[in-house]
A and B are shown apart, each in its own frame.
Chain A
Amino acid sequence: GESVGLHLPTLSVQEGDNSIINCAYSNSASDYFIWYKQESGKGPQFIIDIRSNMDKRQGQRVTVLLNKTVKHLSLQIAATQPGDSAVYFCAENSGNTGKLIFGQGTTLQVKP
Chain B
Amino acid sequence: DSGVTQTPKHLITATGQRVTLRCSPRSGDLSVYWYQQSLDQGLQFLIQYYNGEERAKGNILERFSAQQFPDLHSELNLSSLELGDSALYFCASSDVAGHTEAFFGQGTRLTVV
Q: How many residues of B contact A (CB 8 A)?
A: 29
A105 to B37, CA, bound (A): 12
Q: How large is the interface on A (under 10, 10 to 19, 20 to 34, 35 or more residues)?
A: 20 to 34
Q: Is B31 an interface residue (CB 8 A)?
A: yes
A54 → chain B closest CB, angstroms: 13
Question: Is B20's CB within 8 Å of the partner chain A?
Answer: no
Asked whether any CB of chain A lies closer than 8 Å to the CB of B48, the reply is yes
A98–B31 contact, CB under 8 A?
Answer: yes
Instruction: Tell which of A51, A100, A104 has the most Cβ of chain B within 10 Å.
Output: A100
Q: From B47, which residue of chain A is reached at the shortest CB distance? A: A99
**Using Cβ atoms and an 8 Å threshold, which residues of chain B touch A32?**
98-99
Q: Are B107 and A43 in contact (CB under 8 A)?
A: yes
Which chain B residues border A34 with CB–CB below 8 Å? 101
Within 8 A of A (CB), among B26-62: 31, 33, 35, 42-45, 48, 50, 55-56, 58
Q: Which of A44, A89, A97 contacts B98 (CB 8 A)?
A: A97
A residues 34-74 near B (Cβ < 8 Å) are: 34, 36, 41-46, 49, 51
| B106 interfacial by beta-carbon distance below 8 Å | yes
Which B residues are CB-close (under 8 A) to A31? 99
Taking CB atoms and an 8 Å cut-off, the chain B residues in 60-79 that contact chain A are none
Interface residues of A in 84-112 (CB under 8 A from B): 89, 91, 93, 95-105
On chain A, the residues within 8 Å of B103 by CB distance are 46
Contacts known (A43-B104, A46-B103, A49-B101); A98 close to B56, Cβ less than 8 A: yes
**What are 6 inter-chain pairs, A to B, with CB distance below 8 A?**
A43-B106, A44-B104, A91-B43, A95-B98, A96-B99, A97-B55
Q: A46-B103, A98-B55, A98-B56 are in contact. List 7 more A-B contacts (CB 8 A).
A: A89-B42, A93-B99, A96-B98, A98-B94, A98-B100, A99-B48, A99-B56
